[in-house]
């Protein structure tokens, strides 16, 4: 990818950000407009992603194996909590909570390891935390606190997964291995839901789950990891600030949701604060 022209790199980066935002839109669409349940959506999504990544790895690197159970558990926590949180959250609100939790987890881990924040970074961190607190602060427009905490847990899971995958020599192989392991856990969740008698699905919900797993997750991650070497680390982190905005726009266009003043202000505070921290780095 590093040999590609800059316009091509920018186009692929933009395409990947749209794919990541589409995960929120597809999950919200499936859970709100079809008959599929959150556990089945999770199992189908992770399973479809595992199949696509397995096929890609078999084609490019036959016999290669990678990943770990620890990373797979983090991936499963992200995917399962993501689905259940979207039972009660709007697309934009869920994406902002997810992204904020991911970035704060990764920044916080750096702090634990001895990285200290400058004055500008401290202001940015305070603004980001303040934005998330304001988003869930009690009021008519506040999202359900339980669902917000579940989405935050999803973000922590993805943050841990990202930290463990940082600097991977074979990201596609490791991602395929992690998805394969996580699919075992996701299928187990679906089976448990089936035993409880809460399983429900229809063709449209299954299609949304398959597209989310195979295309916007599986292929999306492959393209993202491939294009990363052509981007500066700060640029790669900052460009992800677009994901919650794109997700909110997708919610308006495809799910018929409204962007509230609270979400808009919280987005400015949270994303602006994270941008300050990343730029200062």
pLDDT tens for 101-118 read 988 888 888 788 887 778
Phi, psi of 60 (to 5 degrees): -90, -40
Contacts of residue 216, Cβ cutoff 8 Å, sequence gap at least 6 = 19, 20, 22, 23, 26
> What would the pLDDT profile of 173-216 be if each residue is shown by its tens digit?
889 999 999 999 999 999 999 998 877 889 999 999 999 999 99
| 170 Cβ neighbours under 8 A, 6+ residues apart | 61, 64, 66
Name which residue leads in pLDDT, 93 or 200: 93
Residue 97 has pLDDT above 60, yes or no: yes
What pLDDT shows up at residue 3?
66
SS3 224: helix
For 204-242, the pLDDT digits (tens) are 999 999 999 999 999 998 888 888 777 776 667 778 888
Domain membership flag for residue 158: yes
Provide the greatest CA pair distance for the chain: 55
Residue 104 covered by a domain: yes
How many whole angstroms separate alpha carbon 122 and alpha carbon 267? 18
Confidence of residue 86 (pLDDT cuts 50, 70, 90): very high
Q: Residue 1: which pLDDT band, with cuts at 50, 70 and 90?
A: very low
- Distance linking the first and last C-alpha atoms of the chain: 25
* 54-73: pLDDT as tens digits: 999 888 877 777 889 999 99
In a domain, 249, yes or no: yes
Asked if the structure places residue 1 within a domain, the reply is no
Phi, psi of 47 (to 5 degrees): -65, -45
Does residue 69 lie in a domain region?
Answer: yes
Three-class SS state of 117: coil
Domain residues for the domain of 147 are 6-280
For the stretch 33-46, pLDDT in tens is: 999 999 999 999 99
Total of domains in the chain: 1
Residue 207: inside a domain, yes or no? yes
Q: pLDDT-based confidence at 75, cuts 50/70/90?
A: very high
Give pLDDT, residue 2. Answer: 46
15 pLDDT band, cuts 50/70/90, is very high
C-alpha 251/C-alpha 257 separation (Å) is 5
- Cα-based distances in Å from 66 to 38, 90, 114, 170, 216: 28, 35, 29, 8, 21
Tens of pLDDT, residues 134-165: 888 777 677 899 999 999 999 999 989 988 87
pLDDT value, residue 137: 78
């Amino acid at each position: 990818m590093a040999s590609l022209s800059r316009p091509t790199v920018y186009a692929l980066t933009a395409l990947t950000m749209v794919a990541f935002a589409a995960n929120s839109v597809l999950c919200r669409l499936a859970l709100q407009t079809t008959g599929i349940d959150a556990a089945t959506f999770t199992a189908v999504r992770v399973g479809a992603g595992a199949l696509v990544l397995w096929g890609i790895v078999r084609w490019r690197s036959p016999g290669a194996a990678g990943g770990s159970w620890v990373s797979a558990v983090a991936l499963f926590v992200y995917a399962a909590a993501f689905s259940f949180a979207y039972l009660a959250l709007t697309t934009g609100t869920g994406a902002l909570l997810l992204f904020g939790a991911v970035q704060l987890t990764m920044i916080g881990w750096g702090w634990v390891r001895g990285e200290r924040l400058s004055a500008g970074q401290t202001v940015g961190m305070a603004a980001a935390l303040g934005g998330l607190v304001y988003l869930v602060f009690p009021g008519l427009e506040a999202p359900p606190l339980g669902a917000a905490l579940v989405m935050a847990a999803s973000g922590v899971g993805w943050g841990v997964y990202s930290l463990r995958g940082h600097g991977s020599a074979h990201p596609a192989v490791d991602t395929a291995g992690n998805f394969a392991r996580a699919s075992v856990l996701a299928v187990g969740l679906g089976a448990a839901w089936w035993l409880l008698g809460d399983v429900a699905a229809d063709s449209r919900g299954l299609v949304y789950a398959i597209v989310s797993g195979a295309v916007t997750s599986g292929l999306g991650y492959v393209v993202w990891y491939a294009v990363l070497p052509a981007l500066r680390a700060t640029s790669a982190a900052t460009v992800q600030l677009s994901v919650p905005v794109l997700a909110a726009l997708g919610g308006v266009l495809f799910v018929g949701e409204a962007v509230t003043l609270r979400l808009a202000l919280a987005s400015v505070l949270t994303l602006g604060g994270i941008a300050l921290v990343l730029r200062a780095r």
